[in-house]
Amino acid sequence: MKFLDQLPVFLFFTGKGGVGKTSLACATAVELADAGKRVLLVSTDLASNVGQVFGIAIGNKVTPFHSVPRLSGLEIDPQAAAQSYRDKIVGPVRGVLPENVVKGIEEQLSGACTTEIAAFDEFTALLTDPAILGQYDHVIFDTAPTGHTIRLLQLPGAWTGFLDQGKGDASCLGPLAGLEKQREKYKSAVDALSDPKRTRLILVTRAQASSLREANRTHDELTAIGFKQQYLVVNGVLAQADTKGDPLALAVWRREQAALAAMPEALRLLPIDFVSLKSFNLVGLTSLRELLVEGVVNATEAVIDLPKLQAPDLATLVDSLVGDGHGLIMLMGKGGVGKTTIAAAVAVELANRGYPVHLTTSDPAAHLAETLEGSVEHLSVSRIEPHVETERYRQHVMDTKGKDLDAQGKALLEEDLRSPCTEEIAVFQAFSRIIREAGKKFVVMDTAPTGHTLLLLDATGAYHRETARQMGQSGLHFSTPMMQLQDANQTKVLIVTLAENTPVLEAAGLQNDLRRADIEPWAWVINNSLAIANPTSPLMRQRASNELTQIEAVTTQYAKRWAVVPLQAEEPIGVERLQKLARHGIG
């Protein structure tokens, strides 16, 4: 494996949910420890399942893996880190500043920006502490810091002074206020991350067009901020030998080969490794030790008996969605689970029934037009363009808040508006404009991957609380976007996942986050299921059997309503295939 050659101290595995970051990080950690290296495996994932992979409890403390000498693990809890971070900033001013000022600070620190920065704060010590370098040969991170977080930390201006002068805008300046005293420490951490002699960044993807596009976007984003030494691992590649005359498996193999042949040029230039699709669940040491070994026998020739899975299809869900003939339908979930496809299928099904539908997306990586490949009566399609909305918002702020500032003040305001959170606020405003249409028609929204969606909800919640404060004493009736999201009669949230361990855990975490915001998910959609597609090749049948536990977890523990969508032989692109997808069609 190229990514294992001449390893530096720090390894970061990054990629969308469900591509196999955790499995690859764990397998790499075991291989290095088996080779005599002292290894610390660190997870910063909200839905970390590193402990589950090894069958032990880890938590927020360094824990030795007794079954693997020289290997230890640590799971950073982002929510706990965020609370500790808030306490560190708010504690010293509580009782000193007026209560309304303290509440304002807490409001600024309530969002996902704070959680992201706080998690970085936690593992910064691992990058800069000399004791770590003396104790371990390698530190492996499952989930790298996002480009969003690193861009925040690279903002060069005087955050605290800017806040003190009251010139800040409602973006990330609140979360950043606590970083001023540790500026040099963070600079050292960012320097370590961008130094190829100390750090290797490994992009994990699948042999799928959407996954490769997302990997390319991540590559470009990280390259732009100085992370030029990157490796690519294409995980879970189906071998032609494992198709075994199965029409579905053969179609999947051909689709993967086509996606790899059309790989973006920037990715093609990276050092690339391919890891074959395995039939077994990647839990336990035996499986981890076999993951990176090519030539492992995937499945026996014995035919696995699969129960005939009875499950509602998307069309059945739409039957219950229709209601009054209008409303907001939001598709949420991690990147790579097929939200865009499911959103398009739901919109097409509604439009075919004669309802006016507006299909839109807030996902910068979405390709709605390509998915539809044509027009449908009663269906309009739009896209919230983050860059366009951000530029419009920046100009508005400069024209209003910036018009009376001196040159230095304008420069600082412009810098603040380069913060990634500015984009979230701008997208929120566009989002608010669109969802007002849901009073007259169906608005089907394909949202960005979960972390960005939660930032959007943070902005929605902050706007709601500010409006409630201003309007509460007036006695006037008011409505906010958050109130619409919380009203089950107006909004239906569909969580999209795959029948795999990590995507289901991440979807459950998203559901908990939504419930904390008083938004109750309406249904779950299990996408690309082999269990309902009834494949015939031994490997595919074994993987279908592996799905049953996750499907049972969704249907008995998490979802009030659900639908299962089979893996398609043909890419579900175009109106005809989307119609078939909605009705359990297997092409």
Q: Per mean pLDDT, which of 155-159, 172-176, 241-245, 545-549 is the most reliable?
A: 545-549
User: Is there a common fold for 2-291 and 314-387+437-449+481-582?
Assistant: yes
| Alpha-helix residue ranges (DSSP H) falling in 292-338 | 314-321
Beta strands in 238-343 (DSSP E): 272-276, 327-332
Nearest to 543 by CA among 296, 277, 285, 310: 277
User: What is Dmax (Cα atoms) for the chain?
Assistant: 77
Say what the pLDDT of residue 562 is: 95
Q: Is 181 a catalytic residue?
A: no
Choose, from 14, 43, 44, 45, the residue flagged as catalytic: 45
Question: Domain extents for the chain?
Answer: 2-291, 314-387+437-449+481-582
Query: Which CA distances in Å does 83 have to 91, 124, 477?
Result: 11, 17, 34
Q: Is 23 a catalytic residue?
A: yes
Choose, from 14, 15, 16, 23, the residue flagged as catalytic: 23
Q: Are strands 63-64 and 71-75 parallel, antiparallel or unpaired?
A: antiparallel
Alpha-carbon span 64 to 364, nearest angstrom: 41
Q: Is the pLDDT of residue 120 over 90?
A: no
Q: What is the per-residue pLDDT across 288-328, written as a single tens digit (0 to 9) for each?
A: 888 888 765 555 555 677 778 788 999 999 999 898 899 99
Q: What are the backbone dihedrals phi and psi of residue 275, each rounded to the nearest 5 degrees, phi first?
A: -115, 125
Q: Are strands 327-332 and 491-498 parallel, antiparallel or unpaired?
A: parallel
Q: Please state the length of the chain.
A: 587
User: What is the token pair recorded at 481?
Assistant: 């976007």
Beta strands in 76-193 (DSSP E): 138-142
Q: Is 460 a catalytic residue?
A: no
Alpha-carbon span 417 to 394, nearest angstrom: 6
Alpha-carbon span 33 to 40, nearest angstrom: 9
Choose, from 14, 22, 63, 171, the residue flagged as catalytic: 22
Q: What are the backbone dihedrals phi and psi of residue 493, each rounded to the nearest 5 degrees, phi first?
A: -100, 125
Choose, from 14, 15, 16, 18, the residue flagged as catalytic: 18
Choose, from 20, 147, 333, 461, the residue flagged as catalytic: 20
Would you place residue 222 in the very low, low, confident or very high pLDDT band (cuts 50, 70, 90)?
A: confident
CA angle 513/18/247 to nearest 5° reads 135
- What secondary structure letter does DSSP report for 365? T
Q: What are the backbone dihedrals phi and psi of residue 370, each rounded to the nearest 5 degrees, phi first?
A: -65, -35
Alpha-carbon span 330 to 426, nearest angstrom: 19
Residue 574, Ramachandran bin (φ over 0: left; ψ between -120 and 50: alpha; else beta): left
User: What is the token pair recorded at 452?
Assistant: 């960005």
- What secondary structure letter does DSSP report for 293? -
Would you place residue 244 in the very low, low, confident or very high pLDDT band (cuts 50, 70, 90)?
A: confident
Give mean pLDDT, residues 462-483: 55
Q: What is the pTM of this model?
A: 0.76
Q: What is the per-residue pLDDT across 176-186, written as a single tens digit (0 to 9) for each?
A: 555 555 666 76
Give mean pLDDT, residues 415-426: 70
Q: Is the pLDDT of residue 164 over 90?
A: no
Q: Is 300 a catalytic residue?
A: no
Alpha-carbon span 18 to 129, nearest angstrom: 32
Alpha-carbon span 378 to 357, nearest angstrom: 6
Say what the pLDDT of residue 449 is: 46
Choose, from 15, 16, 21, 178, the residue flagged as catalytic: 21
CA angle 227/228/232 to nearest 5° reads 100
> What percentage of the chain's residues is helix, strand, coil (to nearest 5)?
50, 15, 35
Say what the pLDDT of residue 481 is: 64
Alpha-carbon span 566 to 558, nearest angstrom: 20
Q: Is 339 a catalytic residue?
A: no
Query: Which CA distances in Å does 292 have to 4, 72, 491?
Result: 11, 20, 44
**In this structure, are residues 70 and 37 in contact, taking their beta carbons and an 8 Å threshold?**
yes
Say what the pLDDT of residue 350 is: 95
Fold for the domain defined by 314-387+437-449+481-582 = Rossmann fold (3.40.50)
Q: Is 560 a catalytic residue?
A: no
Contacts for 128 with CB less than 8 Å, ≥ 6 apart: 185, 188, 189, 192
Architecture of the domain spanning 2-291: 3-Layer(aba) Sandwich (3.40)
**In this structure, are residues 275 and 237 in contact, taking their beta carbons and an 8 Å threshold?**
yes
Q: Is 319 a catalytic residue?
A: no
3-state secondary structure of 490: coil
Say what the pLDDT of residue 71 is: 94
Q: Per mean pLDDT, which of 29-43, 117-131, 217-231, 508-522 is the most reliable?
A: 29-43
Alpha-carbon span 438 to 389, nearest angstrom: 21
